[in-house]
Amino acid sequence: MMANPAAVNLSPKHPSGDPDPAEAVLDLVHLSRQTFGDHALETELLALFERQASQLSRRLEAPRSMGDASARIDLAHMLKGSARSVGAFAVAAAAEAYETALRAGDAREAALCGRLLAEIEAVRGAIADIL
C-alpha cells in the first residue's frame, strides 16, 4: 500500500525510530500487522471503516433529542472498536472520551462530540489519499 506520508502523519518518531502511534492520524504499521501484510485486505478494511465512519458521523451530527444518549453511547463504542482495528487511534481515543462523558452525564459531551467528528474527518481524509 503506497500512501502519502503527510496523509498518514507518521511523525514524530520515538527514539527507536518508530512512529509515535499516539501522534499518527492513521497507523499503517498497526493495520499491516492486523492484516498480516495483506494489502488487498488493508484496502478493504480502510474502505469499510471510511463508510462506517461517514455513516456514524452523520448520525452524531444529527440534532440531539431527549433520551438519545444511549444510542450515542452505542455509536461511540462502535467507532472506538473499529477505529482501533484499523489504526485510527486518535478517533478511538476521542470516541472513548465522548462515550465516557455521555455515560457520566458530563456537560463537555458536546465539545467531545465535536472533537470526535474532527478526528473522523482527519482519518477520512487520510484514507481518501490512500484509496
**Domain-located, residue 113:** yes
**Domain-located, residue 1:** no
The predicted structure's pLDDT at residue 63? 73
- The string of pLDDT tens digits covering residues 84-96 is 999 999 999 999 9
The predicted structure's pLDDT at residue 62? 81
Range of the domain at 86: 20-130
- The string of pLDDT tens digits covering residues 46-82 is 999 999 999 999 888 887 765 588 889 999 999 999 9
Tell which phi-psi region holds residue 105, choosing left (phi > 0), alpha (psi between -120 and 50) or beta: left
Tell me the whole-structure pTM to 2 decimals. 0.78
**Domain-located, residue 94:** yes
DSSP SS3 for 42:
helix
**CATH at residue 79:** 1.20.120
- The string of pLDDT tens digits covering residues 6-44 is 344 433 344 445 555 445 689 999 999 999 999 999 999
Percentage of residues of the chain with pLDDT beyond 70: 79
* The three grid cell numbers given for residue 2, joined into one nine-digit string: 503506497
The predicted structure's pLDDT at residue 2? 43
The predicted structure's pLDDT at residue 8? 47
Domains identified in the chain, total number? 1
The predicted structure's pLDDT at residue 77? 95
109/92 Cα distance (integer angstroms): 15
**Domain-located, residue 12:** no
**Domain-located, residue 75:** yes
12/10 Cα distance (integer angstroms): 7
